Chain A
Amino acid sequence: MSTPPLFGKTRFLEAQIDEFLDKVSEGAIYFQRGIELLLERGVVEETERKLEQLMQLKERANELRRAVVNTLYTEMLIPDFRGDVLRLLTHLYALLDATKNVFQELLIGYTGAIEGAEAVAEVKELVAVVAQSLQEAVRGARAFFRHPEAVRDHINHIRVYESEADAITLRLMKALFASDRPLERKLLARDALEVIDGLADRAEEISDELSILAIKRVL
C-alpha cells in the first residue's frame, strides 16, 4: 500500500487509523451477534459466517496497523507519540485477535456449555456488557487522537463495564455450581464464562494504558 506524497499523507494516515478502529469496533459487534446466534441456534452456517467475518476483519486490521506504524516511523511523524501510537494499535489489535479467538474457541469446544433459558439470557447480557467495554476501548482510542480530555470518560466507562461483567460472571458461576448438572458440564460452562469475561479484562488493560497516554497528550 503506497502512501500519497507530502500533503495528502496526513489525511491518508488519519483515514487508515480510523479504518483500523472501525475494524476493532466491528469486531465487537460481530462477536456479540455471533455469540447470540451460537446461544440461540448453535453452530449453523450463519454463526460460522460470523467467525469468517471476524477473521477477515483481523487480517485487514493487521494490514492497517503495519501500514500505519511503518509510515509513522519511515516518515518520522509525531516523534513524541509514535511509540505510544504503536503500543495502542498493538493492544487494540491484540484485543480484536482475542475476540476472534474466544469466539472460535466457543464455536469449537463449548457448544452447548450454556443450558437453560435463564442462563442463556444472562450470558447474552454478559456478552453485551463485554462488547460495550470493547466499544468503549475503541472510543477511548479515538478520543486519544482527537480529544484527549475525553479519554477519562471512556476509561471510566470501561472500568464500569468490566466490573459489571465480573458481577454477571460471578452470579452465573454461583448459579451454575448450585445446579445439579454434571461436573464436567459445570467446568466447561465455567471456562466459557471465564474466556468471555477475560475480554473485558483485556479492555480494562487498554484503559490503563490509555490513561497514561492521555496524561501525556493533554495540553
Chain B
Amino acid sequence: MGSLLFLSSGLFLGWTLGANDASNVFGSAVGSRMLRFSTAALLCSVFVILGAVTAGAGASGGLGELGAVNALAGSFTTALAAAATMTWMTRAGLPASTTQAVVGAIVGWNWFSGSITDLSQLSRIVATWVLSPLLAALFAAGLYRLVVAGIRRTRPHLLRLDANLRVGLILAGVFGSYSLGANNIGNVMGVFVPASPFRELSIAGLVRLSGEEQLFLLGAIAIAVGVFTYSRRVMTTVGGSLMTLSPLAALVVVVANALVLFVFSSQQLSAFVVALGLPPIPLIPVSSSQAVIGAVLGIGLLQGARGVRQIRWGVLGRIASGWLTTPVIAALVSFVLLFVVQNVFGQQVYRPVAYQLSPPALVRLAARGVPTEALTMDREPVVGAVRFRDWLRRQARFGPEREALVLEIAEIRPLQIHPEGLRALDATALPPAYRQVVAALEGRSFLHPWQLADVLARQSPLWSLPSAAPAPAARRHQERLALVIDTFAAADPAPDHQPAAPSLPSRQQEG
C-alpha cells in the first residue's frame, strides 16, 4: 500500500502526459473533426498500454543510465517534481515537455544524492532534443512530398481522399499511440524501475508480467485516464497554435511524430542499425510535442515563402524558450522537494552507494586492463559517487569510460546469503533451478555485487550470460540478478554518517 502511495506521483505524471501528449497523436484528427473524441481516446488508450507494456523497456533504460533513482521515496519526489513543473508551466501558459521535466528532475536527484550525472548520457539526451524535431521535420517534409505526388498521380475523388485520410489518421494515431506508450512510459515510470516494488507475476501460468512490466502497465493506465479525462480540451484546441493544418498535413505530422518516437524506442531497429555497421540509436524518451513542432515546421518550410509566412514565429519562440527553462526549473524543484521530503517527512530519498577499492576490486580492475599501480589499495569505503570520483581523480586520471568501469567495480553492497532471504526468494517468480544455485551459497558473504554474479556464473551455466546473448535474455538475466542482490543486501549505510564503513569482509567473504 505504501509502495502504491509512492507510485502516486508517477501516476500523476502519467495523467499529465496522457492529458497533454495524446493531442500529439490524435489532436489534429479530432480538432479537424475527422474523428470523434471517444473513438480517438479509446484507440489511444489501448495502444498506449500495449506499447508501454510490450516495448517500454528500451527507452526507460535510457533514463536509468542518466541516474538510477534507487529509493522509492526518491522516485516519488522526482516524478512529483516533474509533474509539478509540468502542471505549473502548463497553467502559466508555457509550453512544457514531459521528457525535459523528467530529465531535469533526475539531474536534480543526482545533484541532491551526490550521484554522478552521466554527462555523455545527458549530452545524448540533449542531442535528441535537437535531433528529434529535426528528424521529424525531415520525415514530415519527405512524407508530404511523397503523399502529394501520389495524390497528384492517382487523382482520387475528394470523397475518396477524405475516406483514405480518415483511415490514415486512425492508423497513424494507433501507431503514434503505440510509439508514445513505448517511448514515453520511460518518462512516467523510468525513475521507479530501479526501486520497483513489484515482483514478477504469473497469471495462471499463461501470462508472465515482470515487475517492470507491471510498473509500465500501471503507468500506461494512468496515461489512459489522462487521455479520457482531460485531453479533449487540448485535442480540440491543438493544431491552430503554430500553423493551420489541412487534414493531409495533419496526417503527415502524426506519422512523422510516430516515426520519431518509434526510432528512439525500438530495440530491434537499433540492433538493425548496428548490424549495418552504424552507431546504435540512443534509446531515450523523446518529447512528442517537440517532434510534432518539428514536423509542422518541416511542412511549413517545404511550402516555401508561403509556408514560412503561415508559421506563427512568436509561438515558436515561446516554445523554444520553454525547452531551455523546463529542465532547469524541474531540476531546482526536484532538489527542493527532495530536501523537504528527506528532512521534513523523514523519508529516505536515496540509498547511499558506497565505493571501495578493495583488493578483489583492484585485481578485477587490473584484469580488465585498468592500470592500478597509482591507486591506493587500502582505502575505507567512500559514500557517494561524486566523492569517490573526486578521490579517484586525486589518485589517477582516467578517461570517462575507465572511470565508469572503476566506479562499477568499486561499488560495494555487502551481501549475505541467509536462510530468511532464501525463504523470501521462494515467494518470488524466480525459477526453482535458479533458486537452487543461490541456496547452495548459503552462509557466504560478498562485498561487491559482481562477486556474487561471478560465483553464481561459476556455479551454474543458468546464471552465466554468454557475451553474444540477445538483449531480452540479457535484460532477464539482469532482472534476476538484481532480485537476488536486493533480497540479500545488508541494510544500507545511513546517508548522514559518512564515510559509513560497511561490515568488513568476513572470513568467508569472496576475494
Chain A contacts to B: CB under 8 angstroms:
9-10, 13-14, 17, 76-81, 85, 144-147, 149, 217, 219
Contacts and interface: CB of A to CB of B under 8 A. Distances in A.
Contacts of A9: 163
Interface string B125-164: 0000000000000000000000010011001111110110
B458 interface: no
Contacts of A76: 33
14 contacts: A10-B160, A14-B157, A77-B162, A78-B162, A79-B34, A79-B247, A80-B246, A80-B247, A145-B158, A145-B159, A146-B158, A149-B152, A217-B158, A219-B148
Given A149-B152, A219-B148, A219-B248, A79 B159 contact: no
> 10 tightest CB-CB pairs across the interface, nearest first?
A79-B33, A10-B163, A78-B162, A219-B148, A145-B158, A14-B157, A147-B155, A10-B159, A146-B155, A13-B159
Contact of B157 (A80, A145, A219): A145
Nearest to A17: B159
Nearest to A72: B159
A17 B159 CA distance: 10
Given A147-B155, A219-B148, A219-B151, A79 B160 contact: no
Nearest to A7: B163
B348 interface: no
Contacts of A146: 155-158
B54 to A, nearest CB: 30
State the main secondary structure of chain A at its contact with B: helix
A63 B176 CA distance: 42
A4 B334 CA distance: 58
B32 interface: yes
Contacts of A81: 158, 162
Contacts of A17: 159
Given A76-B33, A79-B32, A146-B157, 4 more contacts: A9-B163, A10-B162, A77-B163, A81-B158
B148 A14 contact: no
Interface string B184-213: 000000000000000000000000000000
A77 B157 contact: no
B34 A14 contact: no
Interface residues of B, number: 17
Contacts of A80: 32, 246-247
B160 A14 contact: yes
Max chain B Cβ within 10 angstroms of own Cβ: one of A14, A78, A149: A78
B261 to A, nearest CB: 26
A144 B32 CA distance: 21
Nearest to B147: A219
B32 to A, nearest CB: 6
Interface string B14-44: 0000000000000000001110000000000
Interface in B428-442: none
Contacts of B246: 80
Contacts of B32: 79-80
Interface string B371-386: 0000000000000000
B238 to A, nearest CB: 15
A78 B159 contact: yes
A79 B35 CA distance: 10
A144 B160 CA distance: 13
B248 to A, nearest CB: 7
Contacts of B247: 79-80
Contacts of B155: 146-147
A13 B162 CA distance: 12
Interface string B158-191: 1110110000000000000000000000000000
A141 to B, nearest CB: 11
A58 B163 CA distance: 29
B159 A14 contact: yes
Max chain B Cβ within 10 angstroms of own Cβ: one of A17, A76, A219: A219
Nearest to B164: A10
Contacts of A149: 152
B152 A77 contact: no
A77 to B, nearest CB: 6
B159 A77 contact: yes
Contacts of B159: 10, 13-14, 17, 77-78, 145
Max chain A Cβ within 10 angstroms of own Cβ: one of B159, B160, B246: B159
Nearest to A81: B158
Nearest to A16: B159
A217 B159 CA distance: 12
B239 to A, nearest CB: 12
A106 B32 CA distance: 48
Contacts of A145: 157-159
Max chain A Cβ within 10 angstroms of own Cβ: one of B33, B162, B247, B248: B162
A67 to B, nearest CB: 14
Contacts of B148: 219
A146 B162 CA distance: 12
A219 B152 contact: yes
A76 B30 CA distance: 12
A144 B148 CA distance: 16
Contacts of B34: 79
A141 B375 CA distance: 84
A217 to B, nearest CB: 7
Contacts of B33: 76, 79
Contacts of B151: 219
A14 B163 CA distance: 12
Contacts of A14: 157, 159-160
Nearest to B154: A146
A146 B152 CA distance: 9
Nearest to A76: B33
A192 B34 CA distance: 49
A65 B299 CA distance: 36
Nearest to B246: A80
A85 B152 contact: no
Nearest to B165: A78
A10 B155 CA distance: 15
B494 to A, nearest CB: 63
